[in-house]
Structures are given as C-alpha cells and as structure tokens.
Structure 1
C-alpha cells in the first residue's frame, strides 16, 4: 500500500508541493496569533471538592480569591495622612473599574494589620477580576497599564495570579523565539554531517518548515474548542519539529539506500515508503498512544498536551509521508548534489562498523554488561526517591519578573499567611429563624484546634486554639452569601500550602464535624485535591499506555517477549531523567549549566507526568526504528544474533543523529526563563540520549541475545492472528517465526557476523 502511495506521490509531485505551499501559507496566517489564546492555568482538577467550593464562592458571594494585587510603597509610611488619602483614592478608583468583583485595601478595611508590611512602608490593594482564567488574563493588561507606576506620591506595582499568567505567557513567547534561533543553525550542521550534502540535509528542514506552521494551526483550532496550556506552544512545536526531522531523516536515508541499489526514482520511493515509511507511520502511532495517556487526567494542563501532541505527531508523520515523497521525486538523483563532506559508503555495502562491533561485543558478554548499565541507571535515578511536589506559582518566573517580585514581597514583608488561607463555605443561614450563630461559633472554635491552624475568622469572631480571641470584625457583605444562606469561615494556616503538614491540615479541616454542610477551598485544599487526582489517574494512564503499546508492538513484531522488553527497557531509560529532575530542580545542582531559576524545594506536580508520557513516546519511537530493521534482517534467515548486529549497524548512525537532533531541540529549552520549561528541556533531552546510547547500544542487544529465538515466540493462535492482521510488510514473513521471504529487490549480502544462534 505504501509502496503504491510512494509512486503516486512521484507522479503527482507538483500538485502535492503546490498544495503544501498553499497550506503552509494559510496555516502561518491563521495560526500566527495562537499565543494570545493560550492559558497559563489548568494545574488543578476542575471537578474537585475545592473547585466546586470556589465555584460556589464565585456564584453566591461577591468575592473570591484575589487575582489582582497592587503592592503600594511609600518611604514615608502608609499611615501618614497623605498616604491614607492617596491609598483610599486608589482603592476607590480601582473599585469603579468594569469587570471587577471587588477591590479592597489596607485603608478601606479599617487598616487591617494583615495588609500592612512589618515596617509600615508597604500596603496591599486586593481585587478580583471577573471571569475565568482566560478573561482575567485579557483584562489585567489594561488595568496594569493604568495603575502601575507613581501615583499621588505612592509607588504602585502590579502582581497577583492574573498578572503572573500574563507575564508567564509573554516570557514563553520570548523563550520560544530564542530557542528557534538556537535550534536552526545547530540542526543544520548535524544534518550536513549526517547526509554530507546540502540538498539531502535541506529536505528534513523543508518538511519541518511545513510541519511547524501546521502545528501552530492545530493549536489555534484546539483553542477554539478547549483550553490549551501556554506550555503546549513550546513542547508541541519542539515535538513537531523534532519528529518531522526524525521521520524525514529515516525516509531520506532509506531512499538514498534504494537508489544506491540501482532502482529508478519511483521504485526507490515506493521501496523507501514500504520500509521506512511504514516504520514512520507505526512510530507515530506509538507516540500518539503514549500521549493519549494524558487524556485520563482531569487537569487541562495535561489534557491539552494530549490533544495538541497527538495532533502534531500525526501532522509530522503526514508531512513525511505526503510532502517528502513529492520533494524526493522532484529532486530525484540530485539528492546527493552540493556535497560538503566526503560521502560514506552505503551501510549495506560497508564492512562491520562501530554499531555492529558494539552489538557483537555486547552479545558475547550480555549479562555482565547489562547488569552494569542497569545498576548505573538505577543509581542515576535514586534522587527521585526524595521528590517533593509543589504547585505552579509566581516562582516559575525569573527573579527579574515584576509579578514574582510583588509576590515575594508579600511573602517576606507581610505578617501572616492570610493570602494562603482556606475558605470554608458554611451553609448556615445568617439571618431569619434558621440562623444559628452558636452552631457557627462552635464550628469555628473546633476548626481552630486542627493541626497547623494559626487562626480562624468567622462572622462570630476570631478563634485560636478553641477560644474566641476577638469580637466579630466588620466582615462586609462579601463574606455573606447573596441570599444570606451561607457565610465564609477563613482558616489561616501556620504552614505553606504545598507541604505534607498542609495536606494534613486540609484533611483535619474537612473532617471537622459541623451542624451544617461545609465546602472547603483555598491553595492547600486545591493542592491536596490535585495530588489526589494525579494519584488516582496515574495507574489507569500507565495501564492504558502499556496495554495499547504492547498490542501494537505484538502486531509489529509477532512476538510476545519483544513488547514486554520494550516496555521494561523504555521505563528503565527514564530513571536518569527523573533522578536529574530532582537533583537539579529540587535540590539546586548544576544551575551553572541549566541557568538561574528560583529554588522552591519541590517539583510542580503535573510536570513529571508530562515528562513521563512524552519521554516514553520518544523512547518507543526509537525502539520501533530499531526493531523494524532487526525484524527485516531476521525475516531473511531466522538468525537472531546476526539480525541484531546488522539491524543495529544499519540504524545506528541514523538513530544517533535523530536522537541528537531531538536533544538539540529540547536542550534549547534550557534558555527559557520558566523553571519547568527548563525541566522539560533537560529531562526530555536526557531521556532521548540515554535511550539512544545505553538502552539501544547495550541493553537491547544484551536482552535479545539472552532471549534468542524466544524474542519472536508466540503461541500458535497468536501467530495465526498475527499472520492475518499483523503489521508486517507485504512480501515479508509475518508470523513471528524464522521463515524468510524473498526480498522485493536484490539485496547484497550483509556484513559478516559470527552467528550465535540461541538453542
């Protein structure tokens, strides 16, 4: 089928290339504005108890968590008459703005101590912008322009969740441009070294030039129907660029190999697509399945990567199987024009090379070498045992970011953790015959005895350690539901929201008995719910990915042991990545290499899941390329040892080059100012390099040598099933056994290798 497709693309090359050119222009025009539509949230479960409580507060109270913070500074002191007048006027002006649920400040709340800095030179103005995260981001820019700077003797700086989101998105766009400037020249140099000619090296870049605008168009279309994280822009463009070049690399290399065999251009294209093209299609399917595991998580931060990543992978494969054959047909035998370096002899005609010798060495002593590599990987992964989790906040930004500086000033200069309080919605009427202030007072008093609670504020007063320490303050109408059916109880914590102690506090608060229904939200509650959601969904995600990948690899190879081997070794290849994640970004090592970032002592909780799915997909990508060539050799004569050595030799340089190209794309992410973009860059680059060297060079040949012919074993019914529906090439043996099939064209003898047939 793919062979016929290749010949069709050769005949219709001009029409295909014209359509590709028009599509690229259209995609660039429509997708160019996607960055402004991406969100900076999605780190919490939108259907959790805390999210439902937040929705209740937003719907029934004239309040909600402040997402706009103005930090007001004056060296003369915030209590001087002129500062009081200016601060009051600032608060009133902000309160009069459209789309604000409320605006209050140190001055409007009767000089509340929690909103005044310890030295008296700073005060806070808190406000909430109506709407969801996207609306808040759209509206905060105009507010920041109007209020930031000097105002009536006060210096005003803008922060808060909405401003953090805006600055994070802007930083991401700058980072992406910088990464592209780094990637382009390095990728071109690597391609020239691989192909040793400018024409051949330019073709993968031409495919990437089609795929990247297509990627932005896909992202834009996705934003019309669902929320998409801003980070999807970086990762999916990086993934689309890397996979486009990878897939093109394999198709171009196989095309050159077929030309070297003496085939005419249409037949060479057909043969290249029947082999390398088939592998590209199957590889894209395995990557998509790995990313599909993200769909089971309730966080749109993760789901957006599933939608975008699967679409981008499909698009990269389509470009390699549609546009690239047309380009190859147009170039024809001029594929080797404009040579830069001396051309290597074709692999099929060359003697045993480095990868052949390495495979033979490993297969002579498979157990000691494999044991050493496994021990090394486990050692590199051991820091992951010390992982601590956190939630994304302003500290993912660089220290120079204004929004981070405002948040850091609030943390350092103000006396309590008021901004990190839990909010309990007490569904107890505040007026009328059903009002029961004693029940509310009793509940608030018992809440104040919960572990790690500093103080509880309710309509009936303030409580510490079970005793009321203050009379009710003027809470204002926004602390009472619009219909008087509920009120807010604020639980001020002693600990940060992302600690184990905070999770214990949330559990205790939720377990506190009340005479009325209670909903609890706040940063610590959201974090606990997020961790619970991740923990609940992770086994299902891993199970689905493993099962689907196992089935596909069985259909590809016809054996049961090879899919199991692939799952185990690809999981093992991630150990170094997860160890580095903790050692560098949690414990603060190697900052000279990855660039400065704010050390928080934890890893943003959803990010390891994202790294796991993307890295697993990339590892499986290279596994498929290697297994396809090994199986092709094994189907010739059933010699497992020779097939491994020759298959590794014939894919070694290409897979190494492909891994280097993908690693370059992700290493460029280290230039980002966003901490977890750096983490993704380092983690994914490391995963690819470990897989391309230690896994593919040592563990795969060692495992396949020890297993011998058992690699390809399957029970009779499954062999017959594979013979009917397996993903083998036409004309090749497809039953998982050794029965060689006649090749579709003459094949020169493979490099000599000492056969070590397994018994």
Structure 2
C-alpha cells in the first residue's frame, strides 16, 4: 500500500519505482507460500547445518528489555517520544531543491572541478541552473529583466530561435537551490510569465514538481492510512492497536526526515561521514520516496510485534505478560532484519550521487530508529500503559475462539 502511493502520483519516474517496488513483496509472498514450504519439507533440518538452535525461541536480552519497559511504561514512553520529537524538529525547516553547486563540487572529479571554475569566475552561482524563458517577444523580456537586482546576467543569442519563439536565459546571483536563489528565480519567472512567456529550468521544474506531487499527496496518504487501518484492524482484531501503530509511524518517519535534514541540509557531520559539503537542500523527490519505503518497513515491524502480543493475550496472558512475550519473541527477528536493511542502505550511501546518499541516509537511520526506539521501547510501553483498552472493539466485531475464551476466563484486569 505504501508503494502504491508512488503509482498514484503524476510523475513517471516515481510511478516506475512504485510498480517495480510492488513486484518485490508480491514475488516474496508467492515464494513464501510455495517454494519455501516445499524446500523446508524436502530438505528439512539439513538447512540448519552447521548450527542447530536448541531451547527457547525467545531472546533473553529482549525479554529483559521488554520487562524493563513494561515496568517503567510511562517514563519509557515519555523519554522515547521526546527523543523522536527532538529528532523531528529539523524537518520543519526542510527545503526542497536539488543539491547546491558547492555540494556537487565537493564530490570531486571533472564535474566537480568544472563547477568550481564556474563559481570562481564571478558570474554568479546560478549560472549552471539558468531560468529558461521561451517567448515571442524577447526584446520586452530582456528589457524588463535588465538592471533587475535579482538578475546576475541575461543572454539571448540569435541562434536560439524556432519560428517566432526565442529562448532567453537568465541566471541569479545565488544558486537556485538556496533560499535566496530560489526566491530570485521565482521573481524572474513571475516577471517573464507576466509578459506572456513560458518559463522552464531547474528552479521552475522543482516548483512545478512540488505543486504536482506534494500539493496532491495528502489524499493518497489518507487513502493509505485508511486501508492500512482496516487491514490491521482485521488482522489484530483491535481498533486501538492499529491507531497506535499508525501514530507511531508518523513519529518515526518525521524523526527520519529530521535527521536527514540535520545531516544533509544543515551539514552536521556531512564531511565527517561522506567527505563532502552539505547539500543545502533535500532533493524534491526524496521525501515521498522515503515515506513510501519507511511506512511499509515500519509497519512490518509493528505487525510482527503487535501480532505476537495479540497471540499471547489470546492464549491467556495478561497485557503486561503478553507485551513482554511479544518483545522477547520478535526482538531477535526484527533486529536482524533491520540490521540487514541498515547495512544495505549504508552500502547504497557510498554511491557518488548526492541524491542517492541523501535517500540512503534517510532510509538507514529511519530503519534503525524504528527497529530500536519505536519498536523496542515506545510501542511496547504504550501497549502496557493502555492495558485492556488495547483489546477494545465494537460489540458487533466478530471475535476469535481464543479471544472469546480468554475474555470469559479473565477476571483480573492487567495493569
């Protein structure tokens, strides 16, 4: 469902990511339901060679962690939530644009050297990202922009003509990926469009992308949330648990955004970690891509944990005991899965492209935050704190045989 958000957006390359990404879980489900059982039946215990695990499937470490969190549920929840909120604060200053020239120049190579020469030429950092103006009245456009304080230069060669259409390039003093440069590019666009011209270029493209994607993404996100809630409510047989899972997902993704902005846009640790300057902005398509991937991955971890807690509760355990059991039984599995993804995204961050580095950073840190702070502390703390409220459903909601038996036998409410 989270990858389906990309398919609904009016941008072809995001749609292609969505379609391709959907194939991964679909193929995985088919393999898990067909090939994997057949392999287990034919090969069996030989797959465990050279190590065969004995004893309980629970993790003693995660049982101790779960017990501590349940015993200190409110303080654990407050501390974990406070950390997520602090990490999310930089996200409110997120600026969507391409990486600045300074960031690209610091990557080295011929392209980086060329950008450095352009910057040192004194023609304005916006030279590499001009505002492209197509007009049948080039003289009026040039006259309107010449002498404008926000315009570093203009060019309109006679060879840039097709029929009655002429191309006029205007560039800004500052890089259009910076706040001042973006404002200047918007001003140039306003003046040119006021004269009936069509305006393109990187700044205009990013502005149109933001309007097209983020201006309409709210209904896509709302649809995902509603469908996810329905699926989780059916699976967990609860109204409260799905609401809590969705709420925690919001905090988790917001924290990932904040850390991504703090590192790349604000430049804290960028040179230490990646040996290059800060990007100065977050590439326009990255937040929606990070949302699509992190929403699905984070919800996976929530389902692992909450479904195990639900099973333990149906078997007769109190909410507190069920929560500790759920953490103990899923801790090793979720941690291993998160580490695999974390290392995969860390490897991806070594790609020279700054855009890919930003994406990999957001995904890697988001996965670690969710698998540890959210799934290991905040989620079980809130389940324990809410107690029997977790299992509330409307009177018309169908109950399973196990949960009905537990409800009829249980006389002592959990803490």
Per the normalisation by structure 1, the TM-score is 0.49
Aligned match for 2:150, one of 444, 452, 468: 452
- Which residue of 1 is the match for residue 131 of structure 2? 422
Residue 43 (structure 2) pairs with residue 331 (structure 1): yes
Q: Does structure 2 retain, via aligned residues, the 8 Å contact 1:506–1:528?
A: no
Q: Do the aligned partners of residues 401 and 307 (structure 1) sit closer, same or farther apart at CA in structure 2, a change above 3 Å counting?
A: farther
Aligned match for 1:347, one of 46, 57, 60: 57
Q: Does structure 2 retain, via aligned residues, the 8 Å contact 1:451–1:504?
A: no
Q: Do the aligned partners of residues 336 and 690 (structure 1) sit closer, same or farther apart at CA in structure 2, a change above 3 Å counting?
A: same
Q: Does structure 2 retain, via aligned residues, the 8 Å contact 1:594–1:671?
A: no
Aligned match for 2:95, one of 382, 388, 405: 388
Q: Does structure 2 retain, via aligned residues, the 8 Å contact 1:502–1:524?
A: no
Task: State the 1:308 CA deviation.
Answer: 1.4
Q: Does structure 2 retain, via aligned residues, the 8 Å contact 1:481–1:487?
A: yes
User: For the residues of structure 2 that align with 1:608 and 1:701, how far apart are their CA atoms?
Assistant: 28
- Which residue of 1 is the match for residue 363 of structure 2? 684
**Structure 2 counterpart SS, 1:597:** coil
Q: Do the aligned partners of residues 415 and 663 (structure 1) sit closer, same or farther apart at CA in structure 2, a change above 3 Å counting?
A: closer
Q: Does structure 1 retain, via aligned residues, the 8 Å contact 2:192–2:198?
A: no
Q: Do the aligned partners of residues 499 and 589 (structure 1) sit closer, same or farther apart at CA in structure 2, a change above 3 Å counting?
A: closer
- Which residue of 2 is the match for residue 480 of structure 1? 161
Residue 30 (structure 2) pairs with residue 313 (structure 1): no
What stretches of structure 1 of length at least 5 have no aligned partner?
A: 1-288, 429-439, 459-474, 724-731, 742-754
- Which residue of 2 is the match for residue 405 of structure 1? 113
Aligned residue runs from structure 1 range 663-674, under 5 A: 663-674=342-353
Aligned match for 1:610, one of 286, 289, 293: 289
- Which residue of 2 is the match for residue 757 of structure 1? 413
Aligned residue runs from structure 1 range 539-578, under 5 A: 539-578=218-257
Task: State the 1:371 CA deviation.
Answer: 0.5
**Structure 1 counterpart SS, 2:199:** strand
Q: Do the aligned partners of residues 599 and 690 (structure 1) sit closer, same or farther apart at CA in structure 2, a change above 3 Å counting?
A: closer
- Which residue of 2 is the match for residue 711 of structure 1? 390
Residue 63 (structure 2) pairs with residue 322 (structure 1): no
Task: State the 1:738 CA deviation.
Answer: 4.4
**Structure 2 counterpart SS, 1:347:** coil
**Structure 2 counterpart SS, 1:634:** helix
Aligned residue runs from structure 1 range 620-639, under 5 A: 620-637=299-316, 639=318
- Which residue of 2 is the match for residue 290 of structure 1? 2
Q: Do the aligned partners of residues 450 and 617 (structure 1) sit closer, same or farther apart at CA in structure 2, a change above 3 Å counting?
A: farther
Q: Does structure 2 retain, via aligned residues, the 8 Å contact 1:662–1:688?
A: yes
Task: Tell me the alpha carbon deviations over residues 148-184 of structure 1, each in whole angstroms, 9 at most, x when there is no partner.
Answer: xxxxxxxxxxxxxxxxxxxxxxxxxxxxxxxxxxxxx
User: For the residues of structure 2 that align with 1:705 and 1:507, how far apart are their CA atoms?
Assistant: 52
Q: Do the aligned partners of residues 632 and 526 (structure 1) sit closer, same or farther apart at CA in structure 2, a change above 3 Å counting?
A: same
Query: Number of paired residues?
Result: 410
Q: Does structure 2 retain, via aligned residues, the 8 Å contact 1:397–1:673?
A: no
Aligned match for 1:653, one of 332, 351, 355: 332
User: For the residues of structure 1 that align with 2:183 and 2:108, how far apart are their CA atoms?
Assistant: 34
- Which residue of 1 is the match for residue 84 of structure 2? 377
Aligned match for 1:508, one of 169, 187, 190: 187
Q: Does structure 1 retain, via aligned residues, the 8 Å contact 2:100–2:177?
A: no
Per the normalisation by structure 2, the TM-score is 0.86
User: For the residues of structure 1 that align with 2:169 and 2:271, how far apart are their CA atoms?
Assistant: 43
Between 1 and 2, higher relative CO (CA 8 Å, sep ≥ 6) is seen in 2
User: For the residues of structure 2 that align with 1:666 and 1:756, how far apart are their CA atoms?
Assistant: 46
Task: Tell me the alpha carbon deviations over residues 663-709 of structure 1, each in whole angstroms, 9 at most, x when there is no partner.
Answer: 22222223332223333333222222222222122211211122222
Q: Do the aligned partners of residues 400 and 448 (structure 1) sit closer, same or farther apart at CA in structure 2, a change above 3 Å counting?
A: closer
In proportion to residue count, which structure has more helix? 2
Task: State the 1:553 CA deviation.
Answer: 0.8
User: For the residues of structure 2 that align with 1:592 and 1:412, how far apart are their CA atoms?
Assistant: 22
Task: Tell me the alpha carbon deviations over residues 338-377 of structure 1, each in whole angstroms, 9 at most, x when there is no partner.
Answer: 22xx7341237xxx93333332332233112210111122
Q: Does structure 2 retain, via aligned residues, the 8 Å contact 1:480–1:488?
A: yes
**Structure 2 counterpart SS, 1:604:** coil
Q: Do the aligned partners of residues 618 and 497 (structure 1) sit closer, same or farther apart at CA in structure 2, a change above 3 Å counting?
A: same
**Max Rg structure:** 1
What stretches of structure 2 of length at least 5 have no aligned partner?
A: none
User: For the residues of structure 2 that align with 1:616 and 1:683, how far apart are their CA atoms?
Assistant: 12
User: For the residues of structure 1 that align with 2:13 and 2:276, how far apart are their CA atoms?
Assistant: 22
User: For the residues of structure 2 that align with 1:598 and 1:538, how far apart are their CA atoms?
Assistant: 31
